Amino acid sequence: MTAAQWAWAGFAVLLTIGTAEGAAHATEGLSARVDRVADEYYRAVLDDHPEQAYAAGVTPAHHDRLTDLSLAAQRSWERREDRWLVTLHRTDAHSLAGTPQWTTYGILVEQLEAAVDLRVCRLERWASVNHMDSWHLVLASIAQVQPVATATERADAITRWRSVPGLIRQDIANLRFGLAQGYSAPRSVGERMLQQLDGLIATPLERHPYASPFTRSDDAVFKAAYLTALSRRVLPALREYRAFLANEYLPKARQTLAVSELPNGTRCYAALLRSNTTLRRSADEVYARGEAAVARYRDEVRGIGRTAFGSDDFAALAVRGNASADNQFSDGAELLEASREMVDRAARQMPRYFTWIPDQKVVVEPIPAYRDGAGVSPHYEPPTEGGRPGTYWVSLLRPGGTTRAEAEITAFHETWPGHHLQMSYAQRVRGLHPVAQLLGNAGFSEGWARYAESLAEEAGLYQTAYARIQRRTWSARGMVIDPGIHIRGWTREQAISFAMESGRFPRPAAEALVDRVAALPGQLTAYDSGGQEFLDLRREAEAALGPRFDLPQFHDALLESGNITLPMLRAHVEAWINRRQVTGGCTHEPDVCAH
């Protein structure tokens, strides 16, 4: 879950609680204790924070509510999380090794401990001013999956959407309080959100992103009531928020980008790094690791350039594809068609690298017009239970030009063998508590997708040297630019220049990237922090197993536990390596292999 979602859903936590709850369950077994906490947490999220459930592809029991953003509701949620965390801290994790509860325990503890750390950020006071994943975008996603098949579901839909103005006004109240306390989002981020709101407000009602429930029902009474809720409640509230943002908030918003400019901002950034990566690394360590990787990739680019083009000039190679006619699309329609072909091409190669291929398909669709051009990147949304398929959203506006190389890299990152494959594996895992589906982390998911970019090259999916070069010119730069902006005092222009140096971002796209980093501090470090872990584990496995190394089975080991923390992943894979060394590469238990 990203920083902004934590903010507007109110997911912070206090670690101060008595021991009465622990005494009440003193005789409870360790596995049962973990399962009980997971059960309670899972039900609580589905009941009180349905947005998080929908985002994870989980169907809540009720569809009539949104998260209560009031400070009182947030404090109540924090107290509940406190009790869960204290209970889990009374559990010996080592005794759970080899059981499904080991995974449940690890991801729950990390989620709750990271939330404790995030308290210092006071995200609810500023982070919802965000053009990447704030409530106005979350509502559009919820509209797509709002069920309306039965009379009860239709009544729930009316109740929920009539409540939207209350959510918006709660957010306004929180932001006003934040301004009074010295908290604000960067002005440039707020201006991008304002652009999106203008698009939402201007869209005709029956084609509005929030109108999906209306379009999916034949019930005339419901359709009329739903459009009335949108026209008389939701849209006036959007206009109210738009006026607040433009006239009251933006004039007071900070001109700077760095989260370190906020109260306790340096501590906040450390908490955001942990929340995004699940690693305990300082900003300086992340920055140093990123610089070392960027230098290594720079040398690799020169090597490819010498072979493919007879040149090892990095600057020239980084931009060469941008000017090459054979690396361009004529228009957005061609880009969309080509993206669909790339996804299909990648899917056909997957049986060579994985022991199991999901049945779930992925569709490729253009980003809706009100979001496109406002800084939203191409992205993937997982399938929902019995509803929306896995969807890869692509931008067709081409600000400055989207090259074929960039389209290939992004398609493989988002679909096969990237997010779509990894999330399908996670849904397949048996024995895990369903809470695991709610509690992913960017270090694992984005790390896998970055690893998938290199695996796509190994599979021969890139059709030109441009993509092999461009994959390396950008990789690991997120580990540099993110702490560069938030901790090391980089100016906006310095960050834009660093992004453009990679050759992957013309100036408009580089400006959008910088505002993304400003809106989501720490998130961009997750890609290569995680990607390096996956690559390091593969190198360790290859070195330890030699000719017994089997790539599809190694990929099973990486993905078979779902979206776990990176420290858990390392422990799991190293145990897998040790078992295979003992069994001589047999995939079964030692006693079976012996026979």
Rounded to the nearest 10 degrees, how much is the dihedral formed by the CA atoms of 214, 220, 226, 228? 130
> Tens of pLDDT along 70-86?
999 999 999 999 999 99
* The predicted structure's pLDDT at residue 12: 29
What share of the chain has pLDDT > 90, as a percent? 83
E-strand ranges in 299-418 read 362-366, 379-381, 390-394
Q: What is the pLDDT of residue 539?
A: 98
DSSP designation for 251? G
Q: What is the mean pLDDT of residues 85-114?
A: 94
Contacts of 362 (CB under 8 A, 6+ apart): 343, 380, 389, 390, 391, 392, 415, 416, 420
Cα Rg for the chain, rounded, in angstroms? Answer: 24
Whole-angstrom distance, CA of residue 351 vs CA of residue 588:
21
User: Helix 151-162 to helix 164-180 angle, to the nearest 10 degrees?
Assistant: 30
At 484-524, the pLDDT tens digits run: 999 999 999 999 999 999 998 889 989 999 999 999 999 99
Across residues 242-255, what is the average pLDDT? Answer: 98
Percent of the chain past pLDDT 70, that is, above it, reads: 92
Q: How far apart are CA 560 and CA 355, in angstroms?
A: 11
Which range, 9-18, 178-187, 504-513, is most confident? 178-187
Are the beta carbons of 402 and 331 closer than 8 angstroms? Answer: no
The predicted-structure confidence for 515-567, as pLDDT tens digits, reads as follows 999 999 999 999 999 999 999 999 999 999 999 999 999 999 999 999 999 99
pLDDT at residue 397, rounded to an integer:
79
pLDDT of residue 393 exceeding 90, the answer is: yes
Sign of torsion over alpha carbons 259, 265, 270, 275? negative
Residue 150 has pLDDT above 50, yes or no: yes
Element (H, E) at 574: helix 566-583
Confidence of residue 436 (pLDDT cuts 50, 70, 90): very high
pLDDT at 590 over 50: no
Residue 418 to residue 337: CA distance in whole angstroms: 20
pLDDT at 276 over 90: yes
Given a cut of 50, whether residue 400 has pLDDT beyond it is no
